[in-house]
Structure 1
Amino acid sequence: MRHMAPAAPDVSIIIPASGTAVALRQAVQSIGPADNVEILLVTEREPMTVPDDPRIIVLKAAHQGPNAARNLALQVARAPLVAFLNPADRWMPGKLAAQMALHSARTELGLSFTDYRMFGAGGRESMGMLAMASGFAQRHGFRSLAFALGDDAMAQIFSEEIVGTSTVMARTDLLRAVGGFDEGLGGAAPWDLWLRMAALAPVGCVPRIMMEQRLPPAWRRHAEAPERLAQLREVARRHRESVRLQNAGALKDCAARLLVREAEARDLLAM
């Protein structure tokens, strides 16, 4: 009897496994019951407690960090679209369906993202991060339906911190074409990747809060602040000339944002 190969999924969801088993289980549960996805769970630990979900495919990675883990998963992803989910974060109901509908209607999009909010030990923010980005809110705050950012999408992503990694859905072919995440850029690698993709293809946005991002503990923010600032400055240096051609004002906005980051890093080091 001839066995048919399993149908390719519509979306490959990439999770670089880290943190607690409870948080990872909650992240996987937040994906919802969609049966047209594969969940590529990349682990550096052995053994690891894997959530009970038949959609999960476990990939073993060397101890090289989350960007290398994501790149490993990109090599084997079978779906035309990839969605990223950090193990500490949670998707809101309808997130996956909303972005799949957007990409189905606008096949030219290279990537899309949604609004999101932060949560942690002190509770959760009621306001979305897009409302806190003053330039983005002034330009797009009236929108309630999914939309494309426009010809200066790269400049918009450069000037303000509007794209959360766990909100992104992107075309697999474009992710591979641009080389995936730069593994030498640490926590700034996602920003660099979105900028490289925005230079080549339109960017979409679902302006609804569809993800909750967990704040890292204070000790981690303290330890990582100087290195993270240096990585952000390197990304800004790489892309500033391309951004200048779209909107020179975005350079000033980004510089001001990095100055705030620098002040925050000094405050953390003084604690």
Structure 2
Amino acid sequence: MSNPVATTPVCSVVIPSYNCLAYLKQALISVEQQQVSNIEVIVVDDNSSDETWQWLQQQQISKPQLRSIKLSGNGPAYARNIAIQHAKAPLIAFLDADDTWLPGKLQRQINFHQAFPELSFSFTDYRHLGPNGEDRGTCFEFWPNYRHLVTQAKRYQIKHDAASSLFAENVVGTSTVMASRSALLDCFAFDEQLPSAEDWDLWLKLALSGPVAVANFCDCQYLMRDGSESSKSQLRIKAMHTIYQRYAPKVAKQSSQALTQAKARIATAEAELCNEEHQRLSAIIARLKALFLSPSRRRLIETLADTRNLMLLR
């Protein structure tokens, strides 16, 4: 990120940030380490109070490819949409301020998109890290429909059932995504009216509008910050129901099984919320619903664990 671009950048990196300066510095270092020169990096400061804006202005003096936008606290969906509108490149790569890319990620993804320009978007596997850097496993190894990719040869491939598989299991990490800017604009990008889960909504829109590619490279590190609130869980579940109703008719034409798997995932989220709110019996009922809809060893273990915890409380 040291040389100014004389031509249209090949890729615009979009990073929304809110009171995340310590992590943002590491995110930008990981972009620099990609060693891809012809890019622009757009950081959207969404009304931070931690001197993010001042730091960005100083960084732009020595890093001409870095652009900053100041907003008044409208949330990540609006922030990303503003950055997409301002982006100059035909490809958009998303990175959250508290995540980092591993070396080679950006060039591999650019190369694949340039070889297949009809792609609406692509995504990769990623690794979960705890607050102290502890390894909490990869995304794909957690989800049954994607677990088999972990052991395959490392490569990008077109996923022909993308809409139904992503409806069943939202495995897409935003910080792994590269998308066509024209495809994003055609589907109006992130839905700012959704209270949560606007990322899942966008991946489904894009998957229904054009080809999708997936790579089993673990090219991103995703920070899992503790301390989620039940109010946020409530908003996410509300949004999941809205998105289910929005896309179920189209997905049903591809896979009826994807509908039951999505229902099971929503029921699991409801069980987790019930546990957060100490509604133990309701949690078990939701677990049983999920287990009935989409049986799995993990769901059976979760149901038995919740049942055991309820019995111990009596």
Question: Which structure is higher in RCO with an 8 Å CA cutoff and minimum separation 6?
Answer: 1
1:40 counterpart (39, 42, 46): 42
Paired position in structure 2 for 1:245: 253
Q: Secondary structure at the match of 1:127?
A: strand
How far off is 1:43 after superposition?
A: 1.2
> Does structure 2 retain, via aligned residues, the 8 Å contact 1:67–1:186?
no
1:85-124 aligned within 5 A? 85-121=95-131, 123-124=133-134
* Equivalent residue in structure 2 for 1:232, among 240, 256, 263: 240
Percent identity of the aligned residues?
31
Bigger Cα displacement from structure 2, 182-191 vs 221-230: 221-230
Moved more, 31-40 or 138-147: 138-147
Q: Deviations over 1:30-89 (max 9, x none)?
A: 112321110111112265222734321011223210100111111111000001011011
Output aligned runs, 1:175-186, within 5 Å. 175-186=184-195
CA–CA distance in structure 2, aligned partners of residues 138 and 26 of structure 1? 31
Aligned to 2:208: 199
Task: Give how far 1:145 is off.
Answer: 1.3
**How far did 1:160 drift?**
0.6
Distance 1:141 1:259, change over 3 A: farther
| 1:129-148 paired onto structure 2 within 5 Å | 129-138=139-148, 142-148=152-158
Q: Select the residue among 270, 274, 277 that pairs with 1:269.
A: 277
CA distance in 2, matches of 1:139, 1:252: 22
Task: Find the aligned partners of 1:177 and 1:191 in 2 and give their Cα distance.
Answer: 17
Deviation at 1:98, TM superposition (A): 1.2
For residue 122 of structure 1, report the CA deviation from its aligned partner: 5.3
Map of 2:86 onto structure 1: 76
Residues 1:131 and 1:228: Cα distance change in structure 2 (over 3 Å): same
Q: Structure 1 residue 258: deviation in Å?
A: 1.1
Q: Which has the larger radius of gyration?
A: 2
Is the CA contact 2:44–2:69 (under 8 Å) kept in the aligned structure 1? yes
Structure 1 residue 19: Cα displacement: 2.9
Give the paired residue count: 265
| Number of the residue aligned with 1:156 | 165
Amino acid at match of 2:141: A
TM-score, reference length from structure 1: 0.92
2:175 to 160, 163, 166: 166
**Contact 2:130/2:136, CA 8 A, preserved across alignment:** no
Report what 2:15 is aligned to: 15
Question: What's the RMSD between the two structures over aligned residues?
Answer: 1.9
Q: Note the C-alpha offset of 1:212.
A: 1.0
Deviations 1:110-162 (A, max 9, x none): 10000001112254336321121102224785352110111x21001111121
Distance 1:235 1:81, change over 3 A: same
Structure 2 counterpart of 1:231, which letter? A
Name the stretch that deviates more: 172-181 or 31-40: 31-40
Which stretches in structure 2 are left out of the alignment for 5+ residues?
280-314
Q: Which stretch has the larger CA shift, 260-269 or 53-62?
A: 53-62
Q: 1:122 to 1:221 in 2, by over 3 A?
A: farther
* CA displacement 1:187-233 (0-9 Å, x = unmatched): 31011011001001010011111111111322x34341111111112
SS in 2 for 1:93: coil
The CA distance in 2 between the partners of 1:217 and 1:223, in whole Å, is: 15
* Greater helix proportion: 2
